[in-house]
Structure 1
Amino acid sequence: MFDVSREDIVGGPLPRVLVVLAVPLVVQNFALVAQEVVDLFWVGRLGGTAVAGVGLAAVLVGLLMVPFMMLFTGTQVVTSQRVGADDEAAARRVPFTAAALAIPLAAAVGVVVSIGAEPVVALFTDQAQVATYAVAYLTAYILALVTTSLSDTLEAGFTGWGQTRVALYVNAVAIIVNVVVDPLLILGYGPFPRLEVFGAALATGIGYGVGALFAVALVARGRDGFRLTRDAVRPHLGTAREVVAVGAPIAGQNVGRQVARLVVITVVSFAGGAAGLAAYHVGSRVATVAFVPAQGLAQAATSIVGQNLGAEHLERARRATWIGVAIAAVGLGVFGVVQWLFPEAIAHVFVPDMAGTDLAYTVAYLQILAYGYWALGAIYTVEAGFNGAGETSVSMVSTLAQYWAVRVPIAVVGVYVLTFDVTVVFWAVTLSNVAAAGWLLAYFAYTSRRGLFERAAEAQRPGAGKNTDAEEGVAAS
């Protein structure tokens, strides 16, 4: 039901193709959010300080994931473009080459985390118990770095191929295992030890380890051309360069975003203490629920745009982007209205016993976030148009401006110069989202009329500067 062929992607009704491809991704992303909600629910049983510690660790984890996001995005874009050009042999090489890069990278990052977690955490909080929880979570997350690197690169290959239902299956397996193991390791039910926040991160690593094994099994079985072959599993230097070249701007984008988040969370800690950190973490998790549909649409649109450019259907790629923007902006706008009306009830879904200052800050953040939800939907989906065209640097520049030209200055000046309370940081988040949506939509409207997709299609034609299969084989040997 949720599989579409290459012919559908390059020739079928666009709204239907977008929705059909996006539904498994939306379900998958909701499952990911459910996993995070379950983590938060069980960690919430340990108290608000534990929630604050995991919230700080989550921002640091986001920074650690930057190089892997480069590989995941590069894998999806390059795979989709090669499938669109009807070059399955070259497309098969992409996710396997990316996985060969991701696994040793994860091991190296894990070594750095084991050495530097404690001093790095100390830079962002002076509250000893918050720091203890954050370090415990980061230390246990080393296993998750390795397992997610394999699982997500293969999943990106399935998504780029248009097999979003298979990507859903891989994540569903990982998440189900994680959700089952979570309470066992966090609270120590039955014969399991009580590991608290260490157990929360360890459960994530175990879940994605099972998911990675399932992904490998699916690829070994083969599906619609995406299968294990001797040529596919040999890393190709030319393919690796292309994945990194496409994904590198995404890495720059995420570095800028995650470092800015560290600055923001430092300001939150200064202005609001543990209550502010808890509110920021809960608000971030609720926002994650809100923009799940936009993420799914964006992932689907990236594959659709990439494949249509490979097939040189330029106007169709352009229309796919605008349709995605319209659906996402309206959908998230509706979600924002609901969140503005019922912030306290939503907060209690995440942390049932939240009260006092923690609850007051969380309610304020949820209502302020709601004003900018339409903008989040627009940002994700219009960036998909640029990413599908291989212009990932646009997303990078936009994100750097969003965080460093708008969000960080408003937060820092508001708290340290104007001495406002922590709610000024919450307004900085929403105002930066609205600003980014405005300039991205304007720039896409301008560039899409002035050769954005024509240049991308030209770059995909044979002889346009890419390595041929023979050249890649020589490079790999």
Structure 2
Amino acid sequence: MPTDRDLTTGPITRAVLSVSAPMSVGIFAVLSVGLADAYFLGRLGEAQLAAVGFLYPVTTAVTSLAIGLSAGATAALSQAIGRGDDRRSVARMALHALAFAVVLGIVAGGVIWLATGPLFAALGAGREVATEIRAYMGWWCVSFPALAAMMTVNAVFRAHGNAASAAIIMTSVAAVNVALDPVLIYGFGPIARLGTGGAAIATGIARVLSLAAGLIWAARRNYLSWDTAPFRGIGRSLRRIVEVGLPAAVSNAINPAGMAIVTGAVATLGETAVAGFGAATRVQTLALVPVLALSSGIGPVVGQNWGAAQVGRAQRAVRFTFLLCLVYGLALGVLLAVFAEPLSAIFASAIGDATFATTYLRWVGWTLFGYGVLVTGNAAMNARSRAVWSMGMSLSRIFVLYVPLAWIGVSVAGFAGIAAAAATANVAAAVAMVFAARANRLWPGALGLAERPKGTIEDAPGQLSHTGPTAG
């Protein structure tokens, strides 16, 4: 069984990679669910496939709430573990995060369920497509509390340095979901054909089963406290979680919102351009899986070391992660320059779509290192309780750079202007993130900091006492 890992000792490179590597498998598994849904539903007809296109940005934005909460839980728990807090108090805080996730999931799921009709009508869904959307969203909303809770359980495992367990949970939910998809969508034996609703039911069953397994696993490892006063200190716990979780949720919702606006700019060139842009972004998402895994891994490393007052280790972890993003991003640029055309042909539905996708990938592929630096830097600042900074970085990349440049670029240079806007936003985000890391003491030598003795406490909100001098 995967075990806990103390991320405050040993080589920092091993600490980062030990948490990040398993998450690559888990994140790829999760992404495979969306691809499976699109494939199986697409075989039913155009209305079902169109419904997937409408559902993706909405479900992604709502899921950002759960992702943000899990970021807050990771930050609070990993810092507490690094400080050496009593294991029972850490487990109690994990229980508080889990309870809050369930409540948030119920409220958010209920609101989205009530708003489904007018929301998708405002987005332009026609009557036939809207029928498919309603069939999906009802079940999706019912299972959203299980998703929010499952993400929090994953955050608990990662905070303890046990990323392998988190990856196993993610992979399990994906495997169950993909296996159930054809059975419930098309029907099998006594099971009736459920169509689009069947895809959502498959997702719900997978979420509940994986959550149950994760809770049992976490309880057996004493990650959750069920003592005689389980809700003692819940107010303080939630403040620590929400101060990171709320800005992190906004940060995660910014990207799909910005992409929707950029898609509007692409739409001025016609449906073929939109299809090509969609194909390119699907390739890009899969190519960025290792970077997303790094963003999942750097959080616990920075959190534990910041809590343990090992500032130098946290700084070196960030520098190493940025370097990995640069090396991987440049290698990705070479691969996309060479293989953009065949990759586009796989994900595009027509030759015209593939042409647009190829243009995007060859331009933007060289700059994906910048997006990697942004998301890993954001995760590091979340873990260091500087979530407002990470939210500001995401907002700036999308609404100060990408969206305005995309609309200007499409009017001046057509689709090439869209690709140039994305490339510019990525590079600028990387440069800005390095300065932000220095400003927040997450870069080696920033403000002349030296590594402090273990046991001192940093100046982030939520700290209770000082046992020694803080770093200046």
What interval of TM-score do these two structures reach, taking the shorter chain for normalisation?
A: 0.7 to 0.9
Aligned partners of 1:55 and 1:281 also within 8 Å: no
Query: Matches of 1:221 and 1:385 in 2, distance apart?
Result: 29
Question: Counterpart amino acid of 1:397?
Answer: G
Cα shift at 1:89: 2.2
Query: Matches of 1:430 and 1:191 in 2, distance apart?
Result: 52
Aligned partners of 2:5 and 2:160 also within 8 Å: no
Q: Do the aligned partners of residues 425 and 198 (structure 1) sit closer, same or farther apart at CA in structure 2, a change above 3 Å counting?
A: farther
Cα shift at 1:41: 2.9
Aligned partners of 1:256 and 1:399 also within 8 Å: yes
Q: Do the aligned partners of residues 95 and 314 (structure 1) sit closer, same or farther apart at CA in structure 2, a change above 3 Å counting?
A: same
1:457 corresponds to which residue?
Answer: 458
2:83 corresponds to which residue?
Answer: 85
Query: Matches of 1:153 and 1:90 in 2, distance apart?
Result: 17
Out of 353, 359, 364, the residue aligned to residue 359 of structure 2 is 364
Cα shift at 1:155: 1.0
Cα shift at 1:414: 4.1
Query: Matches of 1:302 and 1:49 in 2, distance apart?
Result: 40
SS at match of 2:84: coil
1:117 corresponds to which residue?
Answer: 116
Cα shift at 1:385: 2.7
1:373 corresponds to which residue?
Answer: 368
Query: Matches of 2:417 and 2:296 in 1, distance apart?
Result: 32
SS at match of 1:371: helix
1:13 corresponds to which residue?
Answer: 11
SS at match of 1:21: helix
CA-to-aligned-CA distance 1:378-415 (integer Å, 9 cap, x gap): 22222233222111111100101111111111233445
Query: Matches of 1:54 and 1:433 in 2, distance apart?
Result: 27
2:270 corresponds to which residue?
Answer: 272
SS at match of 1:83: helix
Matched, 1:322 2:310: no
Matched, 1:152 2:148: no
Cα shift at 1:343: 2.7
CA-to-aligned-CA distance 1:96-148 (integer Å, 9 cap, x gap): 21221122222222222223223222333366655555554434421341221
Q: Do the aligned partners of residues 39 and 278 (structure 1) sit closer, same or farther apart at CA in structure 2, a change above 3 Å counting?
A: farther
Query: Matches of 2:351 and 2:129 in 1, distance apart?
Result: 19
Instruction: Give matches, 1:17-36, under 5 Å.
Output: 17-36=15-34
Q: Do the aligned partners of residues 462 and 16 (structure 1) sit closer, same or farther apart at CA in structure 2, a change above 3 Å counting?
A: same
Aligned partners of 2:88 and 2:225 also within 8 Å: no
1:198 corresponds to which residue?
Answer: 197
Query: TM-score w.r.t. structure 2 length?
Result: 0.87
SS at match of 2:203: helix
Instruction: Give matches, 1:98-137, under 5 Å.
Output: 98-125=97-124, 133-137=132-136
SS at match of 2:385: coil
Give the unaligned 5+ runs of structure 1. Answer: 466-477
2:470 corresponds to which residue?
Answer: none
SS at match of 1:114: helix
Question: Counterpart amino acid of 1:372?
Answer: T
2:398 corresponds to which residue?
Answer: 403
Query: TM-score w.r.t. structure 1 length?
Result: 0.86
Give the unaligned 5+ runs of structure 2. Answer: 468-472
Question: Counterpart amino acid of 2:402?
Answer: R
Query: Matches of 2:421 and 2:133 in 1, distance apart?
Result: 25
Question: Counterpart amino acid of 1:442?
Answer: F
Question: Counterpart amino acid of 1:304?
Answer: V
Question: Counterpart amino acid of 1:408?
Answer: V
- The number of equivalent residue pairs is 456
Query: Matches of 2:381 and 2:387 in 1, distance apart?
Result: 6
2:296 corresponds to which residue?
Answer: 299
Out of 22, 35, 40, the residue aligned to residue 42 of structure 1 is 40
Out of 416, 437, 455, the residue aligned to residue 444 of structure 1 is 437
Question: Counterpart amino acid of 1:399?
Answer: S
Cα shift at 1:226: 1.8
Aligned partners of 1:57 and 1:134 also within 8 Å: yes
Query: Matches of 1:22 and 1:293 in 2, distance apart?
Result: 8
